[in-house]
Structure 1
Amino acid sequence: MNVEPSVVTASRLCYIKLGRGGDWEAESLRDGVLRFGYREAPHDLCVRGDWQAVWEAMKVVPGDAGAATRDVNQIRAYYESDEQSIFITFVGGLLYWARPTGPVEILEDRSHRRATLDGWRNTSIGGARLSADRLSGRFLKVQMFRGTICDVQAADYLLRKLGDQLSPEVAAAEEAERALVTAIVDLMRLLTWQDFELLVDLVFSTSGWRRVSQVGRTQKTIDLELVLPSTTERAFVQIKSQATPAALNDYVDRLAQADAYDRMFFVWHTGDLPEGDRQTDVILLGPQKLARMVLDAGLSSWLREKVS
């Protein structure tokens, strides 16, 4: 997905745990609020910003000056953060973020609640899903914090992710990868048709598909016959060096008449055809998609040797 990057700014970035064991996660995400415990915190003093008095009051609870300081730092972050601040949390493998707004509300059980500017969101400004498995481990370490609220150390990284921006290093790597994919397309077009069929066969075998017939030795209308062991799906592959819309339509019709197959892959390296899938059982693999698969399968060296 190509997303226009945006600049996301924040005067402060905080990580917050929404309740012990995530007890307040569902409510917070549903209602767009920031829930916070610390029931023993003196609300009037916090509102006035008399943090020395708050520290004195909090010191009584654990009887430890260091613990009181840590507690006050978290309470102060909750009370003083404004709409220029961003709070983040992790729920169900997703990163959520929100901007606090309005006054702190004290509930009957002495816990706290604040509204957020636009609720919690788990996507970037451009709509990219913020899945934890796509985030840096250096950034994810913030989840190991044992308290309730802490500052996010990897602030620059987080703001870039929220704004769909790339670091200079990642941007350079993506540019190099695009250049390599373009080069792979050019190299594929130098292959003989036999070697191109062999390349396609290798790509599918590294993707989990198992060939059940020899390349070019099956039915006269089929170049590869495959089975996916994990699902027992069967497919046939039609490989074209030069592809035309008429040839594609011909094979789509043949798939409709073939009861033995669940899907068809139509593969080519040259031809004016769209690479988007026409339907769930017709997969179009043109030069750009195929080049990406060659790269992901680690076959670029094999390809260079074939044409050198």
Structure 2
Amino acid sequence: MTAVTAANVFYIKLGRGGDWETESIRDGVLRFGYREVPHDLCVAGDWPGVWDAMKDRRGDAGAATRDVKQIRAFYESDEDTIFITFVGGLLYWCRPVGEIEILPDNSHRRATLDGWHSTSVGGSLLTADRLSGRLLKVQMFRGTICDVRAADYLLRRLSDELSPEVAAAEEAERALTAAIIPLMRLLTWQDFELLVDLVFSSSGWRRLSQVGRTQKTIDLELVLPSTAERAFVQVKSQATRAALDDYVGRLAEAEAYDRMFFVWHTGNIPENEGPDGVILLGPQRLARMVLDAGLSSWLREKVS
């Protein structure tokens, strides 16, 4: 997969209050205000002349300097430049191409290489909640266009590349997840039931009752207070397809429940082949849930 590169990366606000966001994303264009800009001087690259014109209009040298920096970014950028913006909780990015078009209201428009994108090159959606605050803080810029200081981070995200620090952390997580599985298999059936109960409690489920107590089979009845969903959990140390089929049949006859969780730490049942209404939590998925719930230390203490 080709890495995303750029000589420059800019953030742009698409209109006052986002007035041009919908049009820009839909039509794959860049919109820019600055209606008072001397277009001919900009096209000619006469930036001292542009500065003089903006100084006359602004009456402030500092403001003129800031204006010219933004204007140059819009006029001089080519397809080796990336512009980003944020719309509806997503990061969008594009590359500008072609000449500047002056619209009837004296605002500016540019075409883009292949439109705006809200995904990485690998197809991962660029939701703001999954992006670093170092990048998100660019939205606080009060002007129209500014440099993106977290450009290296952005290019890695667009390329689906991990920083060395994140890659090392992910490798450590994979190793710990793999180590959790044999530890779960050292638990007594009572402690394995308790572990499952703690995992569900950490994700918001509330235990209503325990409706079975046999050594290899423990049933739990749960409710999710936020939605009032009810579920029963079948916990087995060792699972077989026959046992799964048996409890799937029980779910079909139990109108009181919205779904069933079938949980085990030993067995060869594929974890991604659950029937409708049945969620399979085998050793791989359960180990990840144990890690996410912060229960790895609890587990080590139980079997040490």
Matches within 5 A, 1:250-265: 250-265=246-261
| Corresponding residue for residue 298 of structure 2 | 302
Counterpart of 2:280, as a letter, is L
* Counterpart among 44, 64, 71 of residue 68 in structure 1: 64
State how far apart, in whole Å, the 1-side matches of 2:97 and 2:276 are.
46
| Corresponding residue for residue 38 of structure 1 | 34
Aligned length: 303
Deviation at 1:280, TM superposition (A): 4.7
| Corresponding residue for residue 26 of structure 1 | 22
Deviation at 1:27, TM superposition (A): 0.5
Matches within 5 A, 1:53-132: 53-132=49-128
Indicate if the aligned counterparts of 1:276 and 1:284 stay in contact, CA closer than 8 A. yes
Coordinate RMSD, CA, aligned: 1.6
Deviation at 1:277, TM superposition (A): 5.4
Indicate if the aligned counterparts of 1:197 and 1:215 stay in contact, CA closer than 8 A. no
Indicate if the aligned counterparts of 2:262 and 2:279 stay in contact, CA closer than 8 A. yes
User: What secondary structure is seen at the aligned counterpart in 2 of 1:45?
Assistant: helix
* Counterpart among 243, 250, 257 of residue 247 in structure 1: 243
Compute the TM-score of the two structures, normalised by the length of structure 1. Answer: 0.95
Deviation at 1:30, TM superposition (A): 0.6
* Counterpart among 133, 138, 142 of residue 138 in structure 2: 142
Query: Alpha carbons of 1:221 and 1:183: their partners in 2 closer, same or farther (altered >3 Å)?
Result: closer
Indicate if the aligned counterparts of 1:222 and 1:236 stay in contact, CA closer than 8 A. no
Q: Cα deviations across residues 77-127 of structure 1 (Å, max 9, x unaligned)? A: 001100111000011111110000111000000000001111111111111
Indicate if the aligned counterparts of 1:224 and 1:238 stay in contact, CA closer than 8 A. yes
Q: Cα deviations across residues 252-291 of structure 1 (Å, max 9, x unaligned)? A: 1111111111100000111111112524511010111111
Determine whether 1:191 maps to 2:187.
yes
Unaligned runs of 5+ in 2: none
Q: Which runs of 4+ in 1 moved over 4 A?
A: none
Counterpart of 1:51, as a letter, is W
Determine whether 1:208 maps to 2:204.
yes
| Corresponding residue for residue 225 of structure 2 | 229
* Counterpart among 176, 179, 188 of residue 175 in structure 2: 179
Identity %: 80
Q: Greater CA deviation, 9-18 or 234-243?
A: 234-243
State how far apart, in whole Å, the 2-side matches of 1:279 and 1:108 are.
60
| Corresponding residue for residue 13 of structure 2 | 17
Deviation at 1:52, TM superposition (A): 1.2
| Corresponding residue for residue 289 of structure 1 | 285
Compute the TM-score of the two structures, normalised by the length of structure 2. Answer: 0.96
State how far apart, in whole Å, the 1-side matches of 2:276 and 2:85 are.
36
Indicate if the aligned counterparts of 1:205 and 1:211 stay in contact, CA closer than 8 A. yes
Deviation at 1:173, TM superposition (A): 0.5
Q: Greater CA deviation, 25-34 or 129-138?
A: 129-138
State how far apart, in whole Å, the 1-side matches of 2:84 and 2:120 are.
12
State how far apart, in whole Å, the 2-side matches of 1:124 and 1:96 are.
10
